[in-house]
């Protein structure tokens, strides 16, 4: 079972899936407050450490499929045959993998700052992305150096330093082995062909200053998912849940409130 924290005891579970530089801490009160906002809205928010992150063990073979399987197994062990999947960045890819594999188990999707594929395997853009993300580790530095390099380039202009520091702190705690394995899984992901078969309620939540999963990419993705809603947060970058937590949480709660009648 994946390490997790549960907030709330509502009948509808929402699995919170973090990005490649995250952990379940990204959803905590002092960072984004998403878990608490969902609990207050009547849901059971389950903030998970994906395999290799936080207190979850790193498997020998880390892939989107193995991460989705770990999420499915954890939800079942917790007594939830079905759940809403809220995934940020890489977590959004895990959510898509889950929904494509077990569509009957995904009650709804919130896909935040993510994409249905990650470039062309072996392509120049993909290789440049990997070189940039791994340069500090290849130079013998640690994850703190990775975080110091990447976070300022991922956020929108004018984002408070406290938000950037929170993102750096969480990314710095990621194991280098996990980070390398997760990037390998990420660049092989491609679920574009599965989008038209996603029939559950879906919100594609973009950020105007996101250069990793640009709004136009997310808007095209939403156009391929039947009935999907598209929302773009105007003052956020790739780490939208940390940069603009109130706007992010409001968009999520409002979307889910339209589809689930809470007691």
Q: What is the mean pLDDT of each run of 10 residues along the chain (263 residues)?
A: 97 98 97 98 98 97 97 97 98 98 98 89 75 86 94 96 97 96 92 97 98 96 98 98 98 97 75
What is the structure's pLDDT at 119? 67
Exposure string of 72-92, with b = 16+ CB inside 10 Å and e = fewer, is bebbeebebeebbbbbbbbbb
- For 155-188, letters b (16+ CB in 10 Å) and e give bbeebeeebbebbbebbbbbeeebbbbbbebbbe
Among 84, 5, 81, which Cα is nearest to 43's?
84
Check: CB of residue 113 under 8 Å from CB of residue 210: yes
Q: What is the pLDDT of residue 130?
A: 83
- What pLDDT score does 121 carry? 63
Dihedral-angle region of residue 12 (phi above 0 means left; psi in -120 to 50 means alpha; beta otherwise): beta
- pLDDT for res 122: 63
pLDDT at site 118: 81
Q: Given CA atoms 198, 120, 206, 56 in this order, what sign does their dihedral have?
A: positive
The pLDDT, as a whole number, for residue 187 is 87
Give the integer Cα–Cα distance in Å for 249 and 200. 20
**In CATH, what number does 4-259 get?**
3.40.50.1820
Q: Measured between alpha carbons, how far is 24 from 91 in angstroms, rounded to an integer?
A: 11
C-alpha of 109 from chain center: 11
Inter-axis angle of helices 143-154 and 124-138, to 10 degrees?
A: 140
Question: For the CA atoms of 24, 197, 210, 71, what is the dihedral angle to 10 degrees?
Answer: 10
**CA angle at 131 for the pair 26 and 170, rounded to the nearest 5°:** 15
Q: What is the pTM of this model?
A: 0.96
Q: How much is the pLDDT for 212?
A: 92
CA distance 52 to 69: 14
Angle at 191 between CA 188 and CA 194, to 5 degrees: 160
């Amino acid at each position: 079972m994946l390490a997790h924290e549960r907030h709330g005891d509502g009948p509808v579970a929402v699995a919170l899936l973090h990005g490649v530089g995250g952990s379940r801490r990204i959803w905590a009160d002092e960072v984004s407050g998403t878990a608490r906002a969902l609990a207050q809205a009547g849901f059971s928010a389950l903030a998970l450490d994906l395999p290799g992150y936080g207190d979850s063990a790193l498997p020998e073979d880390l892939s989107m499929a193995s991460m989705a399987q770990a999420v499915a197994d954890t939800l079942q062990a917790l007594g939830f045959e079905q759940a809403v999947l809220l995934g940020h960045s890489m977590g959004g890819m895990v959510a898509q993998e889950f929904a494509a594999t077990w569509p009957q188990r995904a009650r709804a999707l919130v896909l935040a700052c993510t994409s249905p594929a990650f470039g062309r395997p072996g392509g120049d853009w993909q290789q440049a992305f990997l070189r940039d993300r791994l340069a500090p580790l290849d130079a013998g530095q640690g994850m703190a150096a990775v975080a110091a390099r990447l976070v300022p380039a991922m956020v929108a202009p004018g984002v408070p330093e406290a938000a950037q520091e929170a993102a750096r702190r969480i990314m710095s705690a990621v194991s280098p082995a996990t980070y390398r394995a997760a990037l390998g899984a990420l660049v092989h992901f491609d679920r574009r062909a599965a989008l038209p078969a996603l029939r559950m309620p879906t919100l594609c939540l973009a950020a105007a200053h996101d250069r990793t999963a640009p709004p136009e990419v997310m808007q095209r993705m939403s156009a391929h998912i039947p009935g999907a809603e598209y929302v773009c947060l105007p003052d956020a970058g790739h780490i939208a849940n940390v940069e603009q937590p109130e706007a992010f949480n409001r968009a999520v709660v409002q979307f889910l409130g339209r589809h689930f009648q809470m007691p």
